[in-house]
Amino acid sequence: MVLGDGVQSAAAIAVLNTVIAPLRPPVTRPPGLCSVAERQHGESPVPGQGLNSEREFEVRVVLDDGQAVVVLTGEIDLAALPEVRAGFADAFARGPAPVAVDLASVAYFGSGGIRALLEATHTASELGVPMRISAASETVRRVLALTGAERLLRPP
C-alpha cells in the first residue's frame, strides 16, 4: 500500500502478507513434478512450467467413463495458463463428450487458473459441451468463493 506521501507502509504490507499467506499453503511435491531449475538440468521433465523454482504444476487430460477430465495439480497461476489452455483445448477436441475438471490436487489457485476456467466455460457453452468441476481442493473452493467465480461456474 502507498500512503499519501508515497511512502510504503510496513504495517500495511505486514497485514496484507498475513491475509495472503494462508491462501497459499506450502506445497509438497507430488511424484513426477519438478521445479524449473530441475527441468533445466534435464531431471524429471513435466508438461508445465512455474514462475520460479518454488512453483510446480501439471496438466493432464484423461478419459473417464465417456468424458474428458482435465486434471490440474500443484500451483496454477499465470505461468501455467498456456498449458492449462492447451489441456482444455485437448479436452474439447475430443468431441461433444462432457468435460470435467479435477482440481482436487491444486495447492495454489491464482488469477491464471480462474481465467482458464472462465475461458473454458465460455468455450464449452459455445460448443454446447457440458462442463463441470468434478473435484476441488479447499484452496480452490475458497478462491472461487472469494472472487465470485463460483457463481459463474455452477451448472444452470
Per-residue pLDDT of the chain (156 residues; tens, 9 = 90+): 333 433 443 443 444 344 444 554 444 444 444 433 333 333 333 344 433 345 589 999 999 888 999 999 999 999 999 999 999 999 999 888 899 999 999 999 999 999 999 999 999 999 999 999 999 999 999 999 999 888 877 654
Crossing angle of helices 81-93 and 111-127, in 10° steps, is 20
The cell for 48 is 508445465
Domain residue limits, the chain: 27-153
pTM (global) more than 0.95:
no
The cell for 65 is 467413463
- Residue 27: per-residue pLDDT: 41
Fold of 27-153: Transcription Regulator spoIIAA (3.30.750)
Vertex 14 angle, CA 57 and 3, to 5° = 115
Nearest to 75 by CA among 38, 131, 26: 26
